[in-house]
Amino acid sequence: MTQLTAICIALASLSHAPTPLGNLCRDVSAYADSSAMPDVSSAMYAPDDEGDEKPSRNASLRDRALEAIKAHNFAEAEKLIHEGRKSRSSRRKDQWRIVEARLELERNEHAKAGLLAMEVVILRPKSDEVAAALYWTAKAYEGLDRPEKAIQLYEECRAHKTAPDSLVKVAGRRIDQLRKTQEES
């Protein structure tokens, strides 16, 4: 079993409707078996003073990609993500994987976004980006109308050793908002 197949099995609970996720997992498995498979053990958010690129170049690319995502300029975002993922630094690749998950969230491709973010958590559990990946996976579960699972992931994010104070606060607010919404229902 490939690592991506294992991820698909682990993420099978991402969707109430197994067909879209099943299709995604079959596509990912087929891609994993092809020779074009990228290094999935790496992904996105690292300090810009490390690694193989000029610090400002990677940060600038990431900022531009995030701006393109916010502006719904998805073609430009994809181009920038592709460029950024050429980094040899695993930490930077973790960051780019999370940017790609954010792109998929903006496209309302929640299952795909969750899969991308969870790759960091599952394949690189010692990455400095695990807390961020847990946060974005929780956002994906919110989009899939799975508030209980989202709360669980936000709590895991808050407790993770790589979570900066700002992320702990944001995840806490999301938990409070989700619980309040559940109580009102």
Determine contact, residues 127/120, Cβ cutoff 8 Å.
yes
* Residue pLDDT, tens place only, 129-163: 999 999 999 999 999 999 999 999 999 999 999 99
Determine contact, residues 95/44, Cβ cutoff 8 Å.
yes
Q: Which residue range forms the structural domain that includes residue 120? A: 3-184
Q: Which stretches of the chain are DSSP H helices?
A: 3-10, 18-33, 55-70, 74-84, 90-106, 110-123, 130-143, 147-159, 165-184
Please state, as a whole number, how many other Cβ atoms lie within 10 Å of the Cβ of residue 109: 18
User: Which pLDDT score is estimated for 79?
Assistant: 97
| Separation CA 98–CA 56 (nearest Å) | 19
The number of distinct structural domains making up the chain is 1
* Residue pLDDT, tens place only, 42-91: 233 333 333 444 445 667 999 999 999 999 999 999 999 999 999 888 88
CATH number for the domain including 154? 1.25.40.10
Percentage of the chain beyond pLDDT 70 is 69
